[in-house]
Amino acid sequence: MKKIEKIQLGNNGPEVSKLGLGCMRMSSVWGGPTPDEKESIATIHEALDQGINFLNTGDFYGAGHNELLIGKALKGKRDSAFISVKFGAIFHNGQWLGLDLRPVAIKNFINYSLTRLGVETIDLYQPSRMDESVPVEDIIGTVADLVKEGKVRHIGVSEITAEQLRTANSVYPISALEIGYSLAERQIEARLLPAAKELGIAVVAFANTAEGLLTGELQAPLADDDYRNHFTRFKGDNLVRNLEKVDILKRMATEKGYTPTQIAIAWVNRQGDHIMPLVSMSRRSRLPENLAAMEIVFTPTEMETLNTTFAIGAIAGGTYLQR
């Protein structure tokens, strides 16, 4: 296995691993079961040993469980990890209630996160998304105050428009933009990605397999209790047509000796030196596959095939990531 590449966060920010470890699935997601804690901690340790030092979490993942888990995993290893935390989402009994981005709430959230993580400073702190209830200037300005207090090192944003990104960066230099990005979700290429590149902001790209659409394992129709039935992309003829596109991805994967998931991650990785695939894992067995994906290269013909097959608008229907 080659040594993992690095990516710089922001124009003058730190260097971190170009593959990020998403820790969300190490906690109960949408009321589901909690994965084995020992295995989750072992996964974090193995990731760190392999050079993956970017750990992504949210204070609302498992109602704080995720941060507590990471805190346990990093005892004696704090200096080897870069911790990225999202805040602002409000849940009750596993149900989404909305956002709380008031300055007073942010100042409250940070202290709970620091306590659960068992650290004095969070490396990257970011609102989980933006709404119209609080001005961007007030949100970023509050986090900038936390930087001055020594509770935060760098500021990030997530689920944001190009206009909001420019506003945020004018208040305080933004180091990273966390956003959903995949072969099946490319709308951000029109305005948001160019804005981030212009401003020197790194892109932390999650949902590389588009809710599992690009794994090559999905079949139509979905089970009645599958959460993806809420999204038009996974319904009826839309799913049938979308899986026909995925068949092309599967053929390329077979020809290259990889899995469709690896090809999907590799495509995101090859979109630029400033783009980091953020991959959720809760088992050590996933690490070799995802690390290997970072080494995949495409011929110009292969890249053209992927870009044409999965051109903007080629995937029918939408998800919560649709913009």
C-alpha distances (whole Å) from 119 to each of 39, 62, 130 are 22, 19, 26
15 secondary structure, DSSP code:
E
Which residue of the set 61, 125, 181, 258 is catalytic? 61
Q: What are phi and psi of 9, to 5 degrees?
A: -90, 105
Q: How far apart are the first and last CA of the chain?
A: 37
Find out whether 90 and 82 touch, Cβ atoms under 8 Å: no
Q: Chain-centre distance of CA 298, in angstroms?
A: 23
Q: 3-state DSSP: the chain helix, strand, coil percent, rounded to 5?
A: 45, 20, 35
Residues 6+ away with beta carbon under 8 Å from 84: 20, 54, 55, 56, 57, 122, 123, 124, 125, 126, 156, 176, 178, 204
Whether 61 is a known active-site residue: answer: yes
8 A C-beta contact, residue 173 and residue 202: no
As to burial, measured by CB atoms within 10 angstroms (0-12 exposed, 13-18 middle, 19+ buried), residue 54 is buried
Question: Does residue 84 contact residue 56 with C-beta atoms inside 8 Å?
Answer: yes
Q: How far is CA 272 from CA 8, 106, 169, 269, 289, in A?
A: 12, 32, 21, 7, 21
Query: Residue 57's closest CA among 137, 158, 195?
Result: 158
Show which residues are catalytic: 61
